[in-house]
Amino acid sequence: MNQSLDMDPVKTELPGRVQRSGNMLLEARGLVKRFFGVTVLNGISMSLQPGEVRALLGENGAGKSTMINLLSGVLQPDGGEIFLDGEPVRFLQPIDANHAGISVIRQELSLFPDLSVAEAVFAGHLPTTRFGRIDWKYMREATQSALGRLDLAVDVRAPVDSLSVAEQQMVEIARALTRESRVVIMDEPTASLSPKEVANLGEIIAQLSRDGVAVLYVSHRLDEVRAFCSTYTVLRDGKAISEGIVKDTTIPLLIRDMAGRDVEIGRSGAERSSGKAVLEVRNLASRPHGRVVQRVRDVSFTLHENEILGLAGIVGAGRTETARMLFGLDPIGSGDVLLEGESFAPSSPSAAMKAGIGYVSEDRKALSILPQRSVTENFALTGVVPPKLFGRNDSAGEAKLLEQFIETLDIRAASIKAPIATLSGGNQQKVILARWIARHPRVLIVDEPTRGVDVGAKEDVHDLIRKISAQGVAVLLISSDLPEILALSDRIITLLEGNVTSEVDAASATAETLMMKMTKHE
C-alpha cells in the first residue's frame, strides 16, 4: 500500500498520508497541543489499522512524547479529535485509554520497585477469584507465560528492583501483553535491551500484529524500524512531515525527513596518534554488597591523551560500574588505578574532580540535570567559574563563559535563566557536556552521551567529543550504540560480564566483530 491507494483523496492533508475508510482501529485527526503558550503539536493526523505496526519517528522535541500522551489519556488535546473504531472518544485520564484497550510501554519505567514481578505485571487490573480474593495462582501463571513469550527467565515472585534494567523493561512489555490490549504503544522500548532481547521483541511485535493488535513503535533506531514496522509517520516541529510504507523508503530519506537536512553518522576516520598514558586501570574489580552482585570483575586498560577509548558491552557488562568507581561514586573492590603514573583511589566525586576527572552520566534526567533550576545554574554546578570573596558566585563570569558555549555548541535556549527542563534533550545534554568541558578535565568519561538525543543534536555531540579529544583530553566513551562507538573511538575494548574480552583498533573493527566479543556464545 502507498499513497496511491488513498480512497478518500479529499481527506488527504499530507503527501504520503495513508488514508483508509472504515476498518480503522485508532485514528487521530488534527490533534493540537500547546504548552506555555507554545504549540508543540500542530494538527497531527494519524491512523492505525488492526495488525498495523506503525513507526512514529522524529527528533526529540518533534512532538512524539506529546502524541503518545494524547493517545493514552495522560494529556488532553487543545484541538482535534481521537476516534476509536470510528467513534469519537475522550480519554480524560490514562485509565480511560487503558479500558479502551490502549497500553503504553514507557521509556521511563513505571514499575513499582517493591512489588513482585507478578504484582507489577498485573498492577491496576488484579485478577480476582469468584470470592473476590486476588487470584495469585492465575497471576503467577499468566506472568510466567507472558515472560516466557519474551524468553525472560525470572522468578515472578522476586521484587522488581532486584531485576536488571533490561529485565525490568521486558517486564514492562509483559505487562502490556497480559492486558489483552488492542493498541500497544512502545516508547523507545529497546533503549536498554541487548541485541538478543531486541530480536525477541521483534518476534513479539510480529506475533501481536498477526493477532490483530495495532502497534505504534517509537524509536530512534532506524534499523529496528526497518525490521519491525510496516508503516511510518515522521514528525518534525509538531507537524507530520511525511507518512508512508517503510519498505518504500530508505534510512537516509527518513533521517532527512526527521532532521530536515542530510545527516551522516559515519566513521570519523581520525587516526590520532596515541600520546602519553593518562589513566591506567589494572585488574579493577567492584565490591559486591547486599543485593548488588559484582558487576566488574577484571577490567584493565590504558587511556592516552588525545585519545577516545570506546568501552563497548551490553547492559550489565559492567561499563557504567567501571566509570562510577573511577569517579569515586562507588568503592573500588580490588585492582589499581594510576593517574599520570600516580596511584589514584578517589573517595568521592569531588576528589575525582580535583584530580581532573569528569563524568557525564548515562541517565541525564535522574543523575545530571537540576530540572527546575536555570540553564546557568546547571552549567555552573561543577564550579566552572571560581567563586569570589566569601563564596559569592561570579555571575558575570558564568554568564560570559556560558554564552561562549551556547555559541560554539549551538545550544538553543529561550534564555540562560530558563529552567533547563524547558530545553530539548539534545540541548540539555550539550549544557551538561559544557559543564564538564569548562573544567578542562584531563580525563572525561562520557556515558551514553546521545541517549535520548535527537538525530541532529547527536552529530553536534559527536563533533564536540572529537573536539575535546583533539584538545588533549583523554576520553572514555561508553555507549550501547555500536555505530556511535565505531564512529568516535580510536580504540575499543569490549566487556562481557565484568571482564575485558578484547581490545581492538577501531579502524579494524566492525559492529559484527564487536558484538561477537560482547555476547556469550559457545
Partner 1 sequence: MTEDPNVAMARARRYALLGKLAPLIFLLLLVIIFAILQPRFLMSLNIFNILRQVSIFGIIAVGMTFVILIRGIDLSVGSLVAVTGLCAAVVAKGGVEGNFALTADGTGFHWAFAALAALAAGTLAGVLQGMAIAWLAVPAFVVTLGGLTIFRGIALTISNGGPVSGFSAEFGWWGRGLVGPIPVPVIIFAVVALVAYLVLTQTRFGRAVYAVGSNPDAARLSGINVNLVTIATYGVIGFCSGMAGFVLASRLNSAEAVAGTGYELTAIAAVVIGGTSLYGGTGGVVGTVIGALLTGVLMNGLVILNVSPYTQQVMIGLIIIAAVAFDAFIKKQSR
**Cell (9 digits) for 265:** 553518522
Residue 42 binds partner 1 (CB under 8 A): yes
Residue 329 binds partner 1 (CB under 8 A): yes
Could you tell me if 173 and 152 are in contact, meaning their C-beta atoms sit under 8 angstroms apart? no
Residue 361 binds partner 1 (CB under 8 A): yes
Could you tell me if 236 and 455 are in contact, meaning their C-beta atoms sit under 8 angstroms apart? no
338, exposed or middle or buried, with CB in 10 Å at 0-12, 13-18, 19+?
middle
Residue 39 binds partner 1 (CB under 8 A): yes
Could you tell me if 21 and 33 are in contact, meaning their C-beta atoms sit under 8 angstroms apart? no
**Cβ-based nearer residue to partner 1, 208 or 477:** 477
CB 446, min distance to partner 1, A: 13
In the stretch 135-174, what mask flags binding to partner 1 with x, by CB under 8 A? Answer: ----------------------------------------
Identify the three-state secondary structure at position 271.
Answer: coil
List 57, 62, 285, 353, residue binding partner 1 (CB under 8 A): 353
**Cβ-based nearer residue to partner 1, 43 or 483:** 43
Task: Give dist(CA 251, CA 220) in Å, integer.
Answer: 11
- Could you tell me which stretch among 101-109, 117-125, 360-368, 477-485 binds partner 1 (CB under 8 A)? 360-368
Residue 483 binds partner 1 (CB under 8 A): no
Burial 68-103 (b: 16+ CB within 10 A, else e): bbbbbbbbebeebebebeeeeeebeebeebbebbbb
List 10, 153, 342, 390, residue binding partner 1 (CB under 8 A): 390
Sign of the alpha-carbon dihedral angle for 192, 193, 198, 203: negative
CB 369, min distance to partner 1, A: 6
Could you tell me if 211 and 203 are in contact, meaning their C-beta atoms sit under 8 angstroms apart? no
CB 349, min distance to partner 1, A: 5
| Residues 6+ positions from 281 with CB-CB distance below 8 Å | 299, 300, 301, 302, 303, 322, 326, 335, 336, 337, 338
Residue 371 binds partner 1 (CB under 8 A): yes
Task: Give dist(CA 509, CA 312) in Å, integer.
Answer: 12
CB 343, min distance to partner 1, A: 21
Residue 387 binds partner 1 (CB under 8 A): yes
Could you tell me if 147 and 127 are in contact, meaning their C-beta atoms sit under 8 angstroms apart? no
- Could you tell me which stretch among 108-116, 167-175, 344-352, 466-474 binds partner 1 (CB under 8 A)? 344-352
Size of the site for partner 1 (CB under 8 A): 39
Residue 383 binds partner 1 (CB under 8 A): yes
Identify the three-state secondary structure at position 325.
Answer: helix
- Could you tell me which stretch among 104-112, 177-185, 192-200, 369-377 binds partner 1 (CB under 8 A)? 369-377
3-state secondary structure 367-421: HHCCCCCEHHHHHHCCCCCCCEHHHECCHHHHHHHHHHHHHHHCCCCCCCCCEHH
List 4, 9, 10, 37, residue binding partner 1 (CB under 8 A): 37
CB 371, min distance to partner 1, A: 6
Q: How many CB atoms are located within 10 Å of the residue 392 CB?
A: 8
Of 107, 76, 7, 96, the closest CA to residue 47 belongs to 7
Task: Give dist(CA 447, CA 46) in Å, integer.
Answer: 36
Instruction: Report which residue type is found at 33.
Output: K
Contacting partner 1 within 169-228 (CB under 8 A): none
Contacting partner 1 within 61-80 (CB under 8 A): 79
CB 170, min distance to partner 1, A: 25
Instruction: Report which residue type is found at 316.
Output: G
- Could you tell me which stretch among 37-45, 268-276, 307-315, 481-489 binds partner 1 (CB under 8 A)? 37-45
**Cell (9 digits) for 241:** 512531515
**Cβ-based nearer residue to partner 1, 4 or 372:** 372
**Cβ-based nearer residue to partner 1, 131 or 390:** 390
Residue 349 binds partner 1 (CB under 8 A): yes
Residue 367 binds partner 1 (CB under 8 A): yes
Of 196, 209, 206, 210, the closest CA to residue 167 belongs to 196
**What is the largest distance, in Å, between two alpha-carbon atoms of the chain?**
74
Task: Give dist(CA 154, CA 143) in Å, integer.
Answer: 10
**Cβ-based nearer residue to partner 1, 202 or 397:** 397
Residue 435 binds partner 1 (CB under 8 A): yes
List 168, 178, 194, 382, residue binding partner 1 (CB under 8 A): 382
**Cβ-based nearer residue to partner 1, 95 or 367:** 367
Residues in the chain: 522
CB 441, min distance to partner 1, A: 11
**Cβ-based nearer residue to partner 1, 40 or 225:** 40
Residue 301 binds partner 1 (CB under 8 A): no
List 380, 409, 431, 453, residue binding partner 1 (CB under 8 A): 380
Identify the three-state secondary structure at position 440.
Answer: coil
Q: How many CB atoms are located within 10 Å of the residue 262 CB?
A: 9
In the stretch 76-115, what mask flags binding to partner 1 with x, by CB under 8 A? Answer: ---x------------------------------------
Could you tell me if 179 and 103 are in contact, meaning their C-beta atoms sit under 8 angstroms apart? yes
Contacting partner 1 within 238-257 (CB under 8 A): none
List 91, 232, 344, 359, residue binding partner 1 (CB under 8 A): 359
Contact positions vs partner 1 (CB under 8 A) = 30, 32, 34-39, 42-43, 79, 327, 329, 348-350, 353, 359, 361, 366-373, 377, 380-383, 387, 390-393, 395, 435
